[in-house]
Amino acid sequence: MTEPFDEKAHVANMEKVMGLTIRDEWRSSVETNMAATAKAANALLAFPLADDEEAAPVFLP
Amino acid sequence: MTVLPENQNTWTVAQTANAVQSGDVSAETVATRALEAIAWLNPKVNAFTDVLVDRALSDAQAVDKALAGGASLPLAGVPFAAKNLYDIQGIATRAGSKINRENPAAAQDATIISKLTAAGAILVGATNMDEYAYGFTGENAHDGNSLNPHDTGRMTGGSSGGSGAAAASGMVPLALGSDTNGSIRVPAAFCGLFGLKPTYGRLSRHGAYLFCGSLDHAGPLARSTADLAQVFDILQGPDPDDPSQADKPALITAPELGKSIEGLKVRIAGGYFEQKMLPEARDAVSAVATALNADEIVDVPEAARARAAAYVITTAESSALHLDRIRKRPEDFDPDTRDRFISGAMVPAAWVQHAQRFRSWFRKQMLAIFETTDILIAPATPFHALPSGTKTVVLDGEELPARANIGLFTQPISFIGLPVVTVPIWLDGASLPIGVQIIAPPWREDLALRVAAYLEQKGVAAAPIAKLI
């Protein structure tokens, strides 16, 4: 992801993409939560995984 | 004649079932006393959102009739409570929310409730929880906060907070919870109970309103290890209605509890699990380690990333589940969960997929540790139950949000579905309990229960009921 992560821009964009409503009094908290998720994801994405490292969903056809 | 303590509030599952099965007391009398205890104690701790008076008395009468006819029921007359995300026939499954209570009443009980009632247990009510299970506090804007019976100014922990309060106050000897990132283990630690989070996929989740299916587990909280083992043994078994349940044979654990722990290799989780905690958490691990003669520390690699991955999966997956509701009715959510569900709906798919792939990587590292380790011990929470409304905590000199960090030590473990028994520890002079995680390899709940039973037998772990005045 781009650094530094711009949570305000991301929230404003995704609010439209996902059809969400964010009241003014909620926005700061939503942005704080988004920033926390981005921080967690950033740490994860910095960890290289081999291409054959598969996810393990439970699905039995 | 079964010897029972005078006060039913202190009865364990085993004591109650033995007394009812042997005819010393009727199931109806036990149920009536449990309902009286709820009427008296529940206003002090707000554990129950639904009290099932008619059902409890009717079921108890049916148990008495069955026993009179010669039936043998392993949980005869045992009152229990279930977190209100489990379906209970005849009432809407609210899962801590305002919105879901508008749903039609459940047509049948969740599988794990059915298993307990088939064994003679009596469901007396549904318990309070964080909205949609998204929280570690036991606080709920719609139903009010569940309060810690050991100090009603403090959190129960969550999300199975009402279940913790119900069992710790002695209203019931058994409560069902669910655990995605710590929601059985945290209230067990804060309320001073034994809590079992089984291996991921072990118990049926059919009839449970899921929070995050990738990580959700069902499990019990109780006041003794023997009770946990007996109930776990009854809850197991294949459920064709649960597509996520693993195809594993049942593991009967109760007979294992008396076995020696000699020869078991117990190690202390190091690195990440030795940081960011207050002295009580460190002291509790130390007490358990001493009792188990464990002095070797094993580093758990990348545990912080494991927690981060669990965090990303949880917020994205749960928000996808609630997307329609969070779009149309955001004002009807608890403010503490609403803003997280909104931001969770904005998480790029690549982040989630990387987290799921990291889960596979982390599992390999942990399985490698368990090649030479039978049990890992780690703190359950970084501190005692926090005062209600606590916003921040200082850990290792860093001021951090309190709520999210309650699950600091539970999240990396449930991330890969390892079985854990949380044991309640009362440090010398402490007025509050704290928990330690007894972590076993996948599918070896018997080992965790055996070690927990040893700690209980030695008096290191104990779950006395709270003295609510």
Peptide bond into A4 cis (omega under 30): yes
B349 touches chain A (CB under 8 A): no
Does the domain at B266-455 match CATH 3.30.110.30? Answer given as no
What value does the mean pLDDT of chain A take?
Answer: 92
Question: A41: which chain B residues are within 8 Å (Cβ-Cβ)?
Answer: 308, 312, 347-348, 351, 354-355
CA distances from residue B390 to B156, B385, B394 in whole angstroms, order as listed: 13, 10, 11
Which candidate from A20, A47, A58 shows the least CB-CB separation from B305?
Answer: A47
Q: In the block, which residue shows the tokens 């969550």?
A: B158
Q: Are B161 and B178 in contact (CB under 8 A)?
A: no
CA distance linking residue B231 with residue B12, whole number of Å: 12
CA distance B416 to chain A (A): 10
Would you call B343 a catalytic residue per the annotation? Answer: no
Q: Say if the Cβ atoms of A20 and B345 lie within 8 Å.
A: yes
The confidence score (pLDDT) of residue A58 equals 61
Q: Are B422 and B439 in contact (CB under 8 A)?
A: no
Peptide bond into B159 cis (omega under 30): yes
Please list, residue by residue across B434-452, b when 16 or more beta carbons sit within 10 angstroms of its beta carbon and e when fewer do: bbbbbbbbbbbbbbbbbbb
Q: Is the dihedral of CA B455, B166, B13, B234 positive or negative?
A: negative
Question: A12: which chain B residues are within 8 Å (Cβ-Cβ)?
Answer: none
Q: Is it true that B5-256 and B266-455 share their CATH fold? A: yes
Phi, psi of B435 (to 5 degrees): -115, 155
Per-residue pLDDT at A2 exceeds 80: no
- ipTM over 0.90 threshold: yes
Q: Are strands B375-379 and B434-439 parallel, antiparallel or unpaired?
A: antiparallel
The confidence score (pLDDT) of residue B7 equals 85
Instruction: Look at residues B243, B297, B223, B242 and name the one whose alpha carbon lies nearest to residue B266.
Output: B297
CA distance linking residue B60 with residue B441, whole number of Å: 38
CATH number for the region B5-256 comes to 3.90.1300.10
Residue B158 host element (H or E): none
The confidence score (pLDDT) of residue B371 equals 98
CA distance A44 to chain B (A): 6
Q: Say if the Cβ atoms of B339 and A41 lie within 8 Å.
A: no
> In sequence order, which residues have a C-beta less than 8 Å from that of residue B217 and are 6 or more positions away?
B178, B179, B180, B184, B197, B198, B199, B200, B202, B203, B205, B414, B417
CA distance linking residue B295 with residue B310, whole number of Å: 29
Instruction: Specify which residues B88 forms β-bridges with.
Output: B91
Neighbour-count burial of A29, counting CB atoms closer than 10 A to its CB (0-12 exposed, 13-18 middle, 19+ buried): middle
Chain B residue closest in CA terms to A55: B357
Q: Which of B205, B340, B343 to mutate to test the interface with A (most CBs of A within 10 A)?
A: B343
The confidence score (pLDDT) of residue B275 equals 97
Helix%, strand%, coil% for chain B, nearest 5? 40, 15, 45
CA distance linking residue B354 with residue B386, whole number of Å: 33
B442, two tokens:
């996948």
Q: Say if the Cβ atoms of B343 and A37 lie within 8 Å.
A: yes
Per residue in A10-34, pLDDT (tens digit) is: 999 999 999 999 999 999 999 999 9
CA distances from residue B38 to B44, B80, B258 in whole angstroms, order as listed: 10, 11, 34
Boundaries of every domain in chain B: 5-256, 266-455
Q: In the block, which residue shows the tokens 């067990």?
A: B188
- Tens digit of pLDDT per residue, chain B (469 long)? 455 566 888 999 999 999 999 999 999 999 999 999 999 999 999 999 999 999 999 999 999 999 999 999 999 999 999 999 999 999 999 999 999 999 999 999 999 999 999 999 999 999 999 999 999 999 999 999 999 999 999 999 999 999 999 999 999 999 999 999 999 999 999 999 999 999 999 999 999 999 999 999 999 999 999 999 999 999 999 999 998 899 999 999 999 999 999 999 999 999 999 999 999 999 999 999 999 999 999 999 999 999 999 999 999 999 999 999 999 999 999 999 999 999 999 999 999 999 999 999 999 999 999 999 999 999 999 999 999 989 899 999 999 999 889 999 999 999 999 999 999 999 999 999 999 999 999 999 999 999 999 999 999 999 999 998 6
The confidence score (pLDDT) of residue A59 equals 62
CA distance linking residue A56 with residue B10, whole number of Å: 43
Please list, residue by residue across B274-285, b when 16 or more beta carbons sit within 10 angstroms of its beta carbon and e when fewer do: bebbbebbebbb
Residue B279 host element (H or E): helix B279-291
> For residue B132, how many C-alpha atoms fall within 13 Å in the half-sphere facing its CB?
27
CA distance A31 to chain B (A): 7
B344 touches chain A (CB under 8 A): yes
Instruction: Look at residues B179, B177, B182, B173 and name the one whose alpha carbon lies nearest to residue B163.
Output: B177
